[in-house]
Amino acid sequence: MARIAAIVGVIAVLAGIVIAILPAWRFTADLGIAEAGILPVILMVVGCLVVGGGLMFLVFFSARRGYDDRADEFARRTEHRPSDPEP
């Protein structure tokens, strides 16, 4: 049941995105991109993919090497501290 709800939720979000973007897409369809603008767009897309991939690599690398364990221990220690008494 939870899987069906998740699938329906994803489809609803995607439908909302398409409905929100479609008018802007139609409005700008005839504008086109100048020759001088194609290279910056390509560089921006490649740069975003490189940065996103690099950050995901760092997340998985950190998790597999155990670097996150120290932060988790600190969070557990500070979480169980008794609160300071009110004056």
Q: Report how far Cα 10 is from the mean position of its chain's Cα atoms.
A: 15
Structural domain includes residue 84: no
DSSP 32: -
> Which residue range forms the structural domain that includes residue 17?
1-31
CA distance 52 to 46: 10
Structural domain includes residue 85: no
Is residue 41 domain-shared with residue 68, that is, in the same domain?
Answer: yes
CA distance 87 to 25: 61
Q: What is the pLDDT along the chain (87 residues), one digit of tens a residue?
A: 889 999 999 999 999 999 999 988 888 878 888 888 889 999 999 999 999 999 999 999 988 887 777 766 766 776 655 565 555
- With tokens 């086109």, the residue in question is 32
Is residue 25 domain-shared with residue 8, that is, in the same domain?
Answer: yes
Domain count, the chain: 2
CA distance 22 to 18: 6
Evaluate if pTM is beyond 0.85.
no
Rg (CA), the chain: 23
